[in-house]
Amino acid sequence: MRDAVGNVLAHGDSVVVVTSLKVKGNPQAIKAGTKVRSIRLVDGVDGHDIDCKIEGFGAMQLKSSVVRKA
């Protein structure tokens, strides 16, 4: 699995969100530049292939196309 710029991702990597993301049910968005630690790669739904916890938002899934390796 590769990130937005082509780096290979692995379990436990830290990544940085490259674009602001709206979160359903939350009035604030995840800002670009937010660091996410200890990701898990999963076979998710609708292209969401990273399982993680983001401080202030909780557990969620992200697409590898919106993050880059830190």
**1 part of a folded domain:** no
DSSP label of 40:
E
Query: What's the pLDDT score for residue 59?
Result: 94
Number of domains in the chain: 1
Q: What is the domain range of residue 35?
A: 15-69
User: pLDDT value at position 25?
Assistant: 87
pLDDT for 18-59, tens place per residue?
999 999 888 999 999 999 999 999 998 899 999 999 998 999
Is 45 within a domain? yes
Residue 4 within a domain: no
Report pLDDT digits (tens) over 6-18: 999 999 999 999 9
Residues 34, 64 contacting (CB under 8 angstroms):
no
23 close to 57: Cβ distance less than 8 angstroms: yes
The CATH number that applies at residue 54 is: 2.30.30.40
| DSSP-derived secondary structure for 7-23 | PBP-TT--EEE-S-B--
Q: Where are the alpha helices (DSSP H) in 1-70?
A: none
Helix (H, G, I), strand (E, B) or coil at 55: coil
- Give me the pLDDT at residue 42, please: 95
Q: Is residue 7 part of a domain?
A: no
